[in-house]
Amino acid sequence: MAEPLFDSTSHPHRRLNPLTNEYTLVSPHRMKRPWQGQTEPPQPANLPEYDPKCYLCPGNERAGGAKNEDYEQVFVFENDYAAVLPPPGPSAPPAPHSLLKMEPVQGGCDVLTFHRRHDLTLARLSPRDIGKVIEQWCTIYEKRGRQEGIKYVQIFENKGAMMGCSNPHPHGQVWSMSVIPTLPATELDNMSKYSLSSPTPSGAAQGPDGKPCLLCEYAHYETGLPLEEGRVVHTNEHWVALVPWWAIWPFEILLLPYKRHISSILHLSSEEKAGFADALSVVTRRYDNLFSCSFAYSMGIHQRPLPSLDPEVEDEDDVAHLHLHFAPPLLRSASIRKFLVGFELMAEPQRDLTAEQAAVRLRGLQDVHYLDTQSDDEKVGGLPRD
């Protein structure tokens, strides 16, 4: 009897993430299973422009007693409940056992509001306003990254209550630390190893000293495929958004510059920053359009751990290639989310929808926000009718 032909749209298989060297189990046939589990309440789309009880709105008093400035656009302040504290800090006591290792961590945590209006998100901001957020990211990355004792700066956003966001006012965070955290350290290590390898020449952009760059090579491959065969969701002159081959989350997106090797946001030209703002606008609007809701996600920027002392001089940290990870939990609708539990906690991540199927869904969506295409009588309490 002839062996059946493998079909990635119906047969279970594993996919390797070269950034982490970890596998994801893909089980596309499970999309047919019925769902009788937990459902999430809809994210409100009818928030007020200003909320007098919001700790992040202009002029309001925060939980810790400090008062916000009456800001117009972007506002930055040190987190009143920071996860890490500034140096100097005490030394760790001797380990009670060789297996029980502990190290002190110092640093700082900043909050960055994206806009004065309480009811907006990145998906509802103009690319011009998103550009102002990018400029502040650059400012904080450079400021915190040049402080003594800091070895890493992480920029991120949690959007939506189901992703642990405690306040709907549009904002993100920047944590600076005296150590390089586990995930970016793993990515940097694998990118460094790839830079020492000898892949088949492909025409992809090169890293420092003409060495291969893992993400330059991957982006070159994806953008070279026919659109209907690959995982690309959106491209502009400088940036590509795609569902990565190894995606864990249902509609996960990897966003990165693909025309040249760029190690940090400080290395972006003005044109590349404009393309960055455009790509962020498109990705977040398509997310909202997928299920006609304010789409929840966690997003983070991975780049050089710290800004370079001299942008003209290459060093070992330039193996990093600037990229953003979007990890959204929603799977089948605005109320059904993916959970990382059971097998995924005890063995390895697993997904049902293939990366290719997710890319087709996202690629087919409009760039115009769904709320801008509805008349008032099509909305109920700010939410679209079923």
Amino acid at 222: E
DSSP codes of every residue in 153-186 = EEEEEEESGGGT-S--SSEEEEEEESS--HHHHH
| Lookup: tokens for 29 | 């046939």
**3-state SS, one letter per residue, for 214-261:** HHHHHHHHHHHCCCCCCCEEEECCCEEEECCCCCCCCCCEEEEECCCC
Q: Is 297 in a helix, a strand, or coil?
A: strand
Q: Angle at Cα 294 formed by Cα 291 and Cα 299, nearest 5°?
A: 105
Catalytic annotation, pick one of 115, 171, 323, 369: 171
Pairing of strands 22-26, 350-351: parallel
Place of tokens 């000898």: 198
88: cis peptide before it, omega within 30°? yes
Residues forming beta bridges with residue 254, ordered by sequence position? 242, 325
171 in catalytic set = yes
Q: Which of 224, 204, 225, 208 is nearest to 216 (CA)?
A: 204
Which residue in 187, 217, 132 sits closest to 317, CA to CA? 187
Backbone angles phi, psi at 329, to 5 degrees: -85, -20
Query: Among all residues, which ones are annotated catalytic?
Result: 171
